[in-house]
Structure 1
Amino acid sequence: MKMTRFASFMSLLTLIMFLVNGFTEDLPSGAIARINAPVNAIAYSQSANQLAIAAANNIYIHDADTYKELMVLAGHTDSVLAVAFSSNGKLIVSGSSDETVRLWEIETGKLRRTREEHTAPVNTVAFSLEGKKFWSASRKNNMLRSWYSRDGGSWTSGASSSDSVKSITTVVLSEYGKIFARAVEMSMAIKDNLKFVIFLSETGTDNDFTPVLAKHTQKITALTFSPSGEYLATGSSDWTIEVWKVTDREPLTPGNLGNPVWILTGHAGTVTSVAFSPSSKILASGSADQRVRLWDLTTGEHLHTFSNHTSKISALAFARDDVLASGSSDGTVFIWDLSKIISTD
């Protein structure tokens, strides 16, 4: 226990030393700010007035206008892998390699609740739109858990009852809380090939997941819904991004999503992160090739590439259509001004 506390203290001290000097260094062209931290995940509050950065064992909350650090949420005993704000900005949920899910109050920084039911690192967390529920998922053992925000009660859903499911690679929830997407590897009987599928479900029926075949030739490594819930973007180890129309108003065809609206190419490595702008007009993608690329989703055109990170991109998040945060395993978060790159009309 003493060693764990000492390790956590040293981790916190190291991060403070990184963050103190975060704004004094020269900025690359287009960057508003640099925050130095070995980032695993980043998230903006829905009002875009706060930025959460998961770095090492802690969550750092910054003012999204001044980039001043407001508080540090400390308590996890291993790397924080995922963070998400509730829609009203009052709560934040975090998942960690310590196999716990923690719920925090933003106003006070108080830890409201810790759940220890996971038996593997928690890679993904998400709130429902109204904030009454949140979800957590472990990639390693295919476990998805659902929780009530108020009293911490839970129910549990596995990825699939099929023994052919090898692993969940990522989990996301649509902005309106109506559809899940889970990327998994599934071994098919024909030629023992690996097919790469997405499971979609109305959240009211947690175990009713429909397998739908994607076009990727290797595993899906990133997923995100557009804010409207109409589109789903998938990134893959095949270096491509696919953008799919998955409207809530029509039932999905079992076994097939049809054809993607766009297949976006240009990365030279596994796509590690994808993010829609609030208007859903712009998609940002990050990759193991250390690049952040911007795409116009009305035309499929590549708009710009940021090449300033020196290691793989670990997280992306939009504050507005013209402000993007990118985090990397190189220990930096850049805040980018996109106003000269895109039209916000």
Structure 2
Amino acid sequence: MSISGELPAEGSDGEEVFINEEDIIHEITIDEEDLPDRDDDDEDGGDRMDDSEDVDDSTYIFQGHKDEVFTVACSPTDASLVASGGKDDRGFLWRIGSAEGALELTGHSDTVSTVAFSSDGKLLACGSFDGQINVWSTATHSLQGTLEGSGSGFEWLKWHPRGHLIIAGSEDCNVWMWNADHNTILNTFAGHSSTVTCGDFTPDGKLVCTGSDDATLRIWDPRSAQSRHVVRGHGYHTDGLTCLSITLDSQTVVSGSKDNSVHL
């Protein structure tokens, strides 16, 4: 192992310890020719890496897309089932290592920006900048329904943690909520003044949290679609939010922003 410069570590009594070149016990030189090479493309559209001791032979490359891939999701109930979407206006449902080929999630006319499985793994939602969300059955590979809002593109979508409700953030400044079993709109959450860039249900399913390019975080009542709290201004982000995550106890929201900061 080779160490360049000085790296701080912590001693048994808590003081900083600095490691330098004098502490090297043995240096091992790696010859690039010894590293595994990638095999040629598999016929089923995916590549497996060289089957050597240092590489897991389950490593798999899916090559169905023809342009940038923007979103991927793994099924919560089937470790081999994966969905993806990209700039080529295409979504795919595919199984790692399977020779059966991938199911193309057809019907979109613009970038597929977001995909997500329901918590029970039975449904897959595929959202696009074309203003549509298509919901597919993972068992039958059939289209269950199409969800629409105002026609503006969808940035993201999330499923309720225990049911077939979907929320999605739109370029029209709104958050939309549907019942995916009946393909019906339940609520529209209006209040943001710019694109809704991120959001989610709290893990207990009782609230919805969203972030926007307007540099605010909003907390909503999903039943009434009323905004309970707005976090903004001095001490909070000074530029648009890009991402958020909610702790498992549903008590804390972590948000990231274009202003280079993370807030809790």
Same fold (TM > 0.5): yes
Cα gap change, 1:176/1:218 in structure 2, threshold over 3 Å: closer, same or farther? same
Aligned: 1:128 with 2:53? no
Structure-2 change in CA distance of 1:121 and 1:166 (3 Å):
closer
Q: 1:202 to 1:295 in 2, by over 3 A?
A: same
Residues 277-306 of structure 1 show CA distances to partners (whole Å, capped at 9, x for unaligned) of 111111011111121111122432212122
| C-alpha separation in 2, matches of 1:261 and 1:237 | 19
Query: What corresponds to 1:19 in structure 2?
Result: none
SS in 1 for 2:205: coil
Cα pair 2:92 2:102 within 8 Å, conserved:
yes
Partner of 2:52: none
C-alpha separation in 2, matches of 1:327 and 1:142: 27
Work out which of the residue numbers 200, 210, 231 in structure 1 matches 2:135.
200
Match of residue 231, structure 1, among 160, 165, 171: 165
SS at 2:111's partner residue?
strand
Report how far residue 232 of structure 1 moved: 0.5
TM-score (normalised: structure 2): 0.68
Q: Flag the 1:314–1:136 CA change in 2: closer, same or farther, 3 A.
A: farther
Q: CA RMSD in A?
A: 2.8
**After superposition, what is the alpha-carbon deviation per residue over 1:191-241, rounded to whole angstroms, capped at 9, x for unaligned?**
xxxxx32211111233x2245242324222221111113211121111111
Q: 1:183 to 1:217 in 2, by over 3 A?
A: same
Query: Are the counterparts in 1 of residues 91 and 112 from structure 2 also a CA contact under 8 Å?
Result: no
2:205 aligned with 1:276: no
Task: Please list, as runs of the form range in 1=range in 2, the aligned pairs for 1:208-227 lying within 5 A after superposition.
Answer: 208-227=142-161
Equivalences for 1:1-345 in 2 at 5 Å? 113=59, 115=61, 117=63, 118-148=65-95, 151=97, 155-160=101-106, 165-184=109-128, 196-206=131-141, 208-247=142-181, 252=182, 257-258=183-184, 260-307=185-232, 308-320=236-248, 321-334=250-263, 336=264
Q: CA deviation at 1:184?
A: 3.0
In structure 1, what is the Cα distance between the partners aligned to 2:254 and 2:193? 21
Give the equivalent residue in structure 2 for 1:90.
Answer: none
Distance 1:119 1:331 in 2: 32
Do the aligned residues in 2 keep the contact of 1:313 with 1:328 (CA within 8 Å)? yes
Residue 156 of structure 2 aligns to a residue whose secondary structure is strand
Tell me, in whole angstroms, the C-alpha distance in 1 between the residues paired with 2:220 and 2:98.
39
SS at match of 1:177: coil
Greater relative contact order structure (CA < 8 Å, 6+ sep) = 1
Equivalent position amino acid for 1:317 in 2 = S
Q: For 2:202 and 2:178, how far apart are their aligned partners in 1?
A: 16
Gaps of 5+ in 2: 1-45, 48-55
Amino acid at match of 1:171: V
Give the CA deviation at 1:126: 1.7
More strand by share: 1
Q: Aligned partners of 1:318 and 1:134: how far apart in 2?
A: 25
Alpha carbons 1:166, 1:185 under 8 Å: kept? yes
Higher fraction of helix: 1
One-letter amino acid matched to 2:164: E
Question: What TM-score results when the alignment is normalised by the length of structure 1?
Answer: 0.53
The code of the aligned residue for 2:110 comes to K
Deviation at residue 177 of structure 1 after TM alignment: 1.0
Structure 1 residues 131 and 205, CA, compared in 2 at 3 Å: closer, same or farther? closer
Instruction: Mark the runs of 5 or more structure 1 residues left unpaired by the alignment.
Output: 1-99, 102-109, 187-195, 337-345
Amino acid at match of 1:272: T
Cα displacement (A) at 1:148? 4.2
Shift of 1:123: 1.8
**Which structure has the bigger radius of gyration?**
2
Provide the C-alpha distance between the structure 1 equivalents of 2:237 and 2:101, rounded to a whole number of angstroms.
40
The number of residue pairs the alignment matches comes to: 206
* Amino acid of the structure 1 residue aligned with 2:246: F
Cα distance in structure 2, aligned partners of 1:279 and 1:272: 22
State how far apart, in whole Å, the 1-side matches of 2:226 and 2:193 are: 17
- Cα distance, 1:128 vs structure 2: 1.4
Shift in Å, 1:152: 7.1
Residue 142 of structure 1: how far off its partner (Å): 2.8
